[in-house]
């Protein structure tokens, strides 16, 4: 299949010389007291070019979320190095990085407006600018009429849109999405996928999506990294070749099915291994 590339550098035509995010032989071990080190990830090396939409799929427990935590600076690598915009990522989230989690990360005591404003407001952005950005983000996400409402009054999909709006207000150069639609039903997932693609085009951010859904990865991404069973390493990187103005209607494209089948063929063996690894 021509979609498969044999290296893990950014594959966009005319890609920039300097990657936005670069992993170099990154490994992550976890050490519990009195137990042998748990090898969760790596070694992993890859690069993300500015403006790229990159997804990571892999079997359960392969280290996808660990990869994202390490990329975000929420968890330091045991070995290897990560560079964001040329600067090393140490312990702490670099400026210009936003995250959206699978779990509901809305603060229940803040209304929708204040939830969306949270990161920017406490990140030193002037209040007038925060208000302008939040109004734009809520309008973009179709949440303007809920600005004074509380998360309790919203559906799961709407709460996730509030979290996306919060990330959007930060104006990140890199948006890390950790299975953000995992808790939603299939139809809402497709629609949320459209929202994310709109957000990606509108902001020009680079996106790294962690997902266990092959469909989601194929629909949203420029490139898809396929991970092995734990300890996760990339066994393939697939370029989808989609146009930037794509949306969920590409699921009807014959190539969508081909990509899906190819990825599942590569993943199946790894998923079986992952099943055997379970205690």
CB of 160 to other proteins, least distance (A): 12
Are 219 and 231 contacting, i.e. CB atoms less than 8 angstroms apart? no
d(CA 251, CA 257): 8
Q: Which residue, 165 or 218, is less far from other proteins as judged by CB?
A: 165
Q: Which residue, 105 or 218, is less far from other proteins as judged by CB?
A: 105
Q: Which residue, 78 or 102, is less far from other proteins as judged by CB?
A: 102
User: Looking only at residues 23 through 82 of this chain, which bind other proteins when binding is defined by CB under 8 A?
Assistant: 72, 74
CB of 90 to other proteins, least distance (A): 13
What is the dihedral angle through the alpha carbons of 272, 273, 276, 279, rounded to the nearest 10 degrees?
A: -120
- Specify the stretch interacting with other proteins by CB under 8 A; choose among 11-19, 148-156, 203-211, 244-252: 148-156
Of 57, 99, 138, 208, which one interacts with other proteins (CB under 8 A)?
A: 99
Residues paired with 238 in a beta bridge: 4, 224
- Specify the stretch interacting with other proteins by CB under 8 A; choose among 58-66, 115-123, 220-228, 233-241: 115-123
Q: Which residue, 133 or 246, is less far from other proteins as judged by CB?
A: 133
Does the protein bind other proteins through residue 184 (CB under 8 A)? no
Of 87, 145, 153, 186, which one interacts with other proteins (CB under 8 A)?
A: 153
Q: Which residue, 56 or 117, is less far from other proteins as judged by CB?
A: 117
Size of the site for other proteins (CB under 8 A): 26
Does the protein bind other proteins through residue 151 (CB under 8 A)? yes
Tokens, residue 53: 């939409």
Tokens, residue 97: 């990085």
CB of 180 to other proteins, least distance (A): 11
Helix (H) or strand (E) holding 80: strand 79-84
Any residues with CB less than 8 A from the CB of 261 and at least 6 apart, and which? none
Examine residue 196 and say whether the peptide bond preceding it is cis (omega within 30 degrees of 0).
Answer: no
Any residues with CB less than 8 A from the CB of 265 and at least 6 apart, and which? none
Q: Which residue, 89 or 97, is less far from other proteins as judged by CB?
A: 97
Residue with tokens 């920039």: 16
Contact residues for other proteins (CB under 8 A)? 72, 74, 92-93, 95, 97-99, 101, 103-105, 107-109, 118-119, 122-123, 150-156
């Amino acid at each position: 299949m021509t979609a498969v590339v044999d290296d893990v550098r950014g594959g966009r035509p005319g890609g920039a010389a300097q990657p936005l995010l670069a992993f170099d032989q990154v490994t992550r071990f976890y050490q519990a007291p009195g137990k042998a080190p748990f090898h969760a990830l790596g070694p992993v090396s890859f690069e993300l070019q500015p403006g790229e939409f990159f997804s990571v799929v892999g079997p359960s427990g392969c280290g996808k979320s660990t990869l994202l935590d390490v990329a975000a600076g929420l968890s330091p690598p045991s070995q290897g190095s990560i560079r964001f915009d040329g600067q090393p990522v140490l312990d702490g989230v670099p400026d210009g990085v936003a995250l959206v989690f699978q779990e509901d990360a809305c603060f229940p005591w803040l209304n929708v407006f204040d939830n969306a404003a949270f990161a920017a407001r406490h990140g030193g952005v002037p209040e007038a600018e925060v208000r302008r950005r939040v109004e734009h983000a809520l309008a973009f996400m179709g949440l303007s009429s809920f600005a004074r409402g509380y998360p309790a009054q919203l559906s799961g999909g709407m709460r996730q849109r509030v979290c996306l709006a919060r990330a959007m207000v930060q104006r990140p150069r890199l948006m890390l999405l950790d299975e953000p639609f995992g808790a939603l039903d299939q139809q809402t997932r497709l629609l949320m996928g459209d929202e994310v693609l709109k957000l990606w085009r509108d902001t020009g951010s680079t996106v790294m999506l962690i997902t266990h859904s092959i469909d989601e990865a194929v629909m949203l991404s420029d490139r898809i990294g396929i991970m092995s069973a734990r300890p996760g390493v990339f066994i393939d990187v697939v370029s989808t070749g989609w146009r930037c103005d794509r949306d969920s209607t590409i699921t009807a494209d014959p190539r969508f099915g081909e990509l899906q089948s190819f990825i599942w063929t590569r993943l199946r063996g790894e998923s079986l291994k992952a099943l055997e690894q379970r205690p």
